Structure 1
Amino acid sequence: MSFPAHVAAACLLACVLTAVGGPAVVRADDQAHDPDQRHATDTPYSTLAMRDLFVARPRLGMLESLVANALLARPTDGEQDPGGDGYRGPSQKRCGKRICVHYAVRGADAPPSRRWVRRTLRVLGSVWDHEVGDLRFRPPPADRRRGGDSRFDVYLADVGRRGLFGYCTPERRLRGERFAASSYCVVDDDFARRQFGARPVDSLRVTIAHEFFHAIQFGYDFREDPWLLESTATWIEETFADRVDDNRRYLRFGTVHRPAVPLDDFSNDRYAHYGTWAWWEYLSDRHGGGLVRAVWRQADTVGDAPDHYSVDALEAVLQRHEGLPRALTSYAVANLWPADTYPEGSRWPAARVGRAVRLGQAQRSDAVRVRIDHLAARHLAFAPAGDLRSHRWRLRVTVDAPRRRAAARVTVVRSGGRRATHAVRLDRRGDAALTVRFDRRAVARVVVTLVNTSSRYRCGRRTMFACRGVPRDDDARFQVIARLIRR
C-alpha cells in the first residue's frame, strides 16, 4: 500500500520531532480554510514545524538527519524533496534587485502566467520596502548563494491543495551566530479563489507580508517563542494590507474576545496566537509603530544583543512606558468596547463578559469567585434591578486578589451608554474596595475587570508558553463581593 509523499513526510517529521523531545507541530501554519475546521489538513510544511525541525537537526542521528535534510529541501531540489513541493520538471526564476521568484515551467506547481510571477515579485518588493524600509526591521540574512546568488528566494508551488497559504524555512545558521539563520519561503502558485475564498491578489499580499516577516524573525532568533513569532507576523499583515482584513477571522479565538486566554498562549489545535495580533495593534497605537521592532531588538541574538525570551523582551520595552501589568489591564478593558479603541473595532468581536448578576432590594449582595491564568483576565458584571430608582443607591465592590501579581478596574456603564472606568488600588495583600453609583435610572451595569499580571515561569520545561516554561501563577484565585448600600 502506498501513501502520498506529503503524508509520508508528515509521519517522518512527527517521528523525528518526537524522538528529540520537541513538539510534533504538524498542523498547517497558515490554513486557507476557516479556523473552525481545525483538523482539516495535516502537513509537515508549516513554518513552525520546519523551524522545530531545523532546531532539532543538530541532535539527530544519521538516519534522522537524512530525513530532516530531505524535508528541509528547496522545491528546486526536485525528487530530493519528499514533501510534495519539489518541482517535477524544469524551473525558471525572475529576479529583482533583492529577491528572486522561482517557479515551475509546467505541472501542478506552475503559476497561471508569467504575469502572475511578475506580480508576485512586485508584491515582494513592496513588502520588503515596508517591513525593512518603513518599519526598519533587519532584512533576512543572505543565504550564501543557495538559490543561485545571494538574493532572497521565494518559490511558487501549489501548497493550497494542502490548505496552506505558504511557509518559510530556516536553512543555515549565520557564521559566528548560534541562533540566527538564513531562510527561504514557499507560497501558493496562484491563490485561486476556489481554494482560498478571496481575491487572489489579496491572499497574495497578506501571505507575503506574513511569511516574509518570519524570514526576518529568523535573522533575529529562530528559537523564539511561537506566540511572538505568529502574533507579530499576523500583526504586520494589518500594517501592510490593512484593507484585506484576512486576520480579522482570528480575533474571536484570541485575547480580544477570550480574555481568559493567556497572552502567550500557543497551541497546535487552537488559534489564539493568531488572534493576539490585536495586542500589538493596541500597543502600537499607544506607543508608536516602533514598539514591535523594539521588542524584537530585545529578543535579538545577533552580536551582543540582549537575547531575552518573548515576555521578558516585552517587559523590558514596556518598562519605558506604562509597564506590562498596567498595559495588560488597560488592554483588557479596551476590548470590552473595541469600536472605541481600534480604527476598525466596530467590526471586531468584543470581550466576553460573565452573565450579569442582578442586585436589588430582594438580593442585596453576591460573591463571585473565579480563577485566572497568567497574563489573562476575566470580566464580571452587575446590574441594578428595577426597584433601585433612588439616586442614593450605591454598589460597594470589594476585591480579594493575589498579592503583587494582580490588577482590577471597575467600569460604570451609564444608561445612556457613557462609561467611566475607575482604577482599583489593591493593597499589599491584594485587597481593595470601591463604591460607585448604582441606581436604575442612571446605571445600566457595572463591569469588574480582574487581571492576573504574573509573568513568572519555570523556564525550559518543554511547554509552548514563553521560554518553553511552566507558568508559576496559573489558576490564581480572585473573589469579588458586590453589596448594595444606600446613602
Structure 2
Amino acid sequence: MGVSFPARVAVACLLAGVLTALGGPADAHSDAHSDDPSGGPRERHAAGTPYSTLAMRDLFVARPTLGPLESMLVSALMARPTDGNQDPGGDGYRGPARKLCGQRICVHHAVRGADAPSTRRWVRRTLRVLGNVWDHEVDGLRFRPPPSDGRRGGDDRFDVYLADLGDRGLFGYCTPERRVRGERRAASSYCVLDDDFSRQQFGARPIESLRVTAAHEFFHAIQFGYDFREDPWLLESTATWIEEAFADRVDDNRRYLRFGTVRRPGIALDDFANDRYAHYGNWAWWEYLTDQYGDGLVRSVWNQADTVGDAPGRSSVKAMKAVLDRHAGLPRTLTSYAVANLSPADTYAEGGRWPAARVDRRATLDRSRRSATDRVRIDHLAARHVAYAPTRDLRGDRWRLRVSVDAPRRRAEARVVVVRTDGRRTRNAVRLDRRGDGSLTVGFDTRDVARVVVTLVNTSTRYRCHEGTLFACGGEPRDDDARFRVRATVIHRSSH
C-alpha cells in the first residue's frame, strides 16, 4: 500500500516549511518542457509537489544542516521508487518491480499499477535512448560519466526509474544521492522519467519527449559528478543546450528563447528565476559559443567548475571567463553574442525560426531633428539596443551619423551595427577610453541605410559572493543598474 493522500499533503506541507527555511518556495525550481494555455512554460512539477531536479539538489545540499525530523523527511523524499512505502512523495511502486539493463544503465519499472509502462517495448526503447544519450554525452562530448552508486539498485550501473509523472506535470528529474567518498561536492545520483510520455499528457510524440528529457536529465547526473552545488543557471542552461546537441530535430527548447537573452538582452546572463525562465532560454549562449569554438567549449567550462581532486572548482562565471580568456575574452564575446541576436538568421543554423532581440529605444532623425540622446540602465552581463533611422530628406552620401557613448569605466562594451536597405549589416566596435567614453561616425544616407543600431553591454563580472542569491557564486552583483548614455547626431560632411 502507498502513503495515503492526507499523508502526502502533510509531507508536502512539511517540505514547504523546510524549503521556506532555506529561503525559497517548494516549487522554486523547474525543468519545464511544455507550454501552459497562457503561452509560458508549464513547470515540470505541479504546485506543492517537491520533485524537480534542482529542488531535490537543494534538499540534498541542505540535509546535513537540518534537524532530525526534517532530515528524516528529506531522506524519505529522496528515496528511490523501488523503496515502495518508504518513498512518501508519491513515486514509490505499489508492488513488484523489474529491471532491464544494458552495459552501463538499468531501467527499473513497476509490474502493475499506475506506474507500470503500457508495454515492455517502451522499456526497451527507453533503455536504447538512454544508451544513445550516454554515447553522445560521455563517449562523444567526453564528459565524465556519473559517479558510481556502488550497489544501489542492484549493481553499480546507472539507475533510471519509470513512473507516472505526467499527471503531476513532471517529465523527469534526477536526484543526487550520496557524496563521493573523499569529495565534498561530487555525488552519485539516479533519475526518474515518465513511464510512457503519452501525447495526451505531454502534447508531443512520445519518442521526442523521451529523447529531450533523457538528454537533459542524464546531463544533470553528469553535472552532479563535477559539482552538485554549482550555480543553477549553469546547471540548467547547459542541460537545455545538450538537448539541442543530442536531439537537434526535436526543437523543444526553442520555446524558451523568448524568455532568455536572445529576445530579452536586458536580462543578466546568469539569471535564474522561476517566473522568468531565462535559465532555459540561455541555452542559446552555449549554442553561440560552440558554433564559434566547437562542442568542447562546454566541457572546458565544466572542467573549470569541476571540484573533483585538484580541479579548479570555480563558480560559473569565473569558469566561463577562464575559458573565454583563451579566445576573444568574455566582454568581447558577450557583446558579439548580443549583436548576433539582432538577426539570428544570420548567425544560427536554425536562427530563421528564432525571435530577434528586442530594441529598447527607437528614434527617427531628419534635417529638423538632427540629434537624440538616450539614457539606459543595464544590469551585469546584460545588454540593451537603441536604434536610429534616417528619413527621406537625408538623401545623399554626405549625410553621416555620429554616435557618442558614455559608459561605465572598464566594464562596458559598445558596438554600432549599420543595417542597410538591402539587408546587409556592418558591425563596428566603438573604442571606449578609460573613462568609458568613445565615438564613431557611420554613413546615414536613407538610400543606403535603413537604420543604425547601437548595442551597449555591461560586462561586469564583479560580485559579493555567498550572499544567498541565485546569481553566480550565490553573489550580489556589484555593478547592476549601470548608467549608459548615447547621443546620436546627424552631420553633413560638407560642413566639416
Q: Please state if 1:12 is matched with 2:18.
A: no
Query: Within 2, Cα distance between the matches of 1:301 and 1:24?
Result: 28
Letter of the 1:474 counterpart:
D
1:20-49 Cα shifts (integer Å, max 9, x gaps): x34335256223431615578322100000
SS at match of 1:352: coil
Determine the structure 1 residue equivalent to 2:281: 275
Q: Does structure 2 retain, via aligned residues, the 8 Å contact 1:395–1:435? A: yes
Query: Within 1, Cα distance between the matches of 2:215 and 2:7?
Result: 29
Letter of the 2:95 counterpart:
G
1:277-313 Cα shifts (integer Å, max 9, x gaps): 0100100111111000000000000000000000000
Alignment of 1:226-245 (within 5 A): 226-245=232-251
Of 455, 461, 472, 2:467 maps to 461
Q: Does structure 2 retain, via aligned residues, the 8 Å contact 1:22–1:52? A: no
Alignment of 1:360-379 (within 5 A): 360-379=366-385
Q: Please state if 1:167 is matched with 2:173.
A: yes
Query: Within 2, Cα distance between the matches of 1:176 and 1:375?
Result: 35
Q: Does structure 1 retain, via aligned residues, the 8 Å contact 2:20–2:26? A: no
Query: Within 2, Cα distance between the matches of 1:156 and 1:421?
Result: 51
Query: Within 1, Cα distance between the matches of 2:16 and 2:30?
Result: 15
Of 143, 150, 153, 2:159 maps to 153
Q: Does structure 2 retain, via aligned residues, the 8 Å contact 1:9–1:44? A: no
Q: Does structure 2 retain, via aligned residues, the 8 Å contact 1:27–1:44? A: no
Q: Does structure 2 retain, via aligned residues, the 8 Å contact 1:13–1:53? A: no
Distance 1:180 1:386, change over 3 A: same
Query: Within 2, Cα distance between the matches of 1:28 and 1:56?
Result: 15
Alignment of 1:93-112 (within 5 A): 93-112=99-118
Q: Does structure 1 retain, via aligned residues, the 8 Å contact 2:29–2:54? A: no
Determine the structure 1 residue equivalent to 2:402: 396
Q: Please state if 1:204 is matched with 2:206.
A: no
Q: Please state if 1:180 is matched with 2:180.
A: no
SS at match of 1:428: coil
SS at match of 1:147: helix
Letter of the 2:252 counterpart:
D
- State the shift of 1:358 in Å: 0.1
Q: Does structure 1 retain, via aligned residues, the 8 Å contact 2:385–2:453? A: yes
Distance 1:445 1:92, change over 3 A: same
Letter of the 1:312 counterpart:
K
Q: Does structure 1 retain, via aligned residues, the 8 Å contact 2:32–2:41? A: no
Query: Within 2, Cα distance between the matches of 1:30 and 1:478?
Result: 35
SS at match of 1:435: strand
Identity value in percent: 75
> What are structure 1's unaligned runs of at least 5 residues?
none
Determine the structure 2 residue equivalent to 1:86: 92
Query: Within 1, Cα distance between the matches of 2:253 and 2:403?
Result: 38
Determine the structure 2 residue equivalent to 1:31: 32
- State the shift of 1:17 in Å: 2.4
Distance 1:56 1:113, change over 3 A: same
Q: Does structure 1 retain, via aligned residues, the 8 Å contact 2:262–2:282? A: yes
Alignment of 1:58-77 (within 5 A): 58-77=64-83
- State the shift of 1:475 in Å: 0.2
Q: Please state if 1:222 is matched with 2:228.
A: yes
Q: Does structure 1 retain, via aligned residues, the 8 Å contact 2:244–2:251? A: yes
Of 388, 393, 398, 1:382 maps to 388
Distance 1:295 1:421, change over 3 A: same
Query: Within 2, Cα distance between the matches of 1:236 and 1:270?
Result: 21
1:108-149 Cα shifts (integer Å, max 9, x gaps): 111010000000000011100110000000000000111111
Query: Within 1, Cα distance between the matches of 2:304 and 2:56?
Result: 24
Determine the structure 2 residue equivalent to 1:130: 136
- State the shift of 1:390 in Å: 2.2
- TM (norm. structure 2) is 0.96
Q: Does structure 1 retain, via aligned residues, the 8 Å contact 2:30–2:54? A: yes
Query: Within 1, Cα distance between the matches of 2:329 and 2:41?
Result: 37
Determine the structure 1 residue equivalent to 2:455: 449
User: More displaced, 385-394 or 325-334?
Assistant: 385-394
Determine the structure 2 residue equivalent to 1:301: 307
Q: Does structure 2 retain, via aligned residues, the 8 Å contact 1:6–1:44? A: no
Query: Within 1, Cα distance between the matches of 2:240 and 2:33?
Result: 14
SS at match of 2:152: coil
Query: Within 2, Cα distance between the matches of 1:74 and 1:124?
Result: 19
Query: Within 2, Cα distance between the matches of 1:159 and 1:353?
Result: 40
Query: Within 1, Cα distance between the matches of 2:174 and 2:96?
Result: 22
Query: Within 1, Cα distance between the matches of 2:298 and 2:24?
Result: 26
Query: Within 2, Cα distance between the matches of 1:300 and 1:13?
Result: 30
Determine the structure 2 residue equivalent to 1:290: 296
1:341-381 Cα shifts (integer Å, max 9, x gaps): 11101010111112420000121111000000000000100
Q: Please state if 1:41 is matched with 2:41.
A: no
SS at match of 2:204: coil
Determine the structure 1 residue equivalent to 2:487: 481
Q: Does structure 1 retain, via aligned residues, the 8 Å contact 2:379–2:480? A: yes
Determine the structure 2 residue equivalent to 1:353: 359
Query: Within 2, Cα distance between the matches of 1:147 and 1:72?
Result: 14
- State the shift of 1:56 in Å: 0.2
SS at match of 2:442: strand
1:446-484 Cα shifts (integer Å, max 9, x gaps): 000000000000000000000000000000000000111
The root-mean-square deviation of aligned C-alpha atoms, in Å, is 1.3
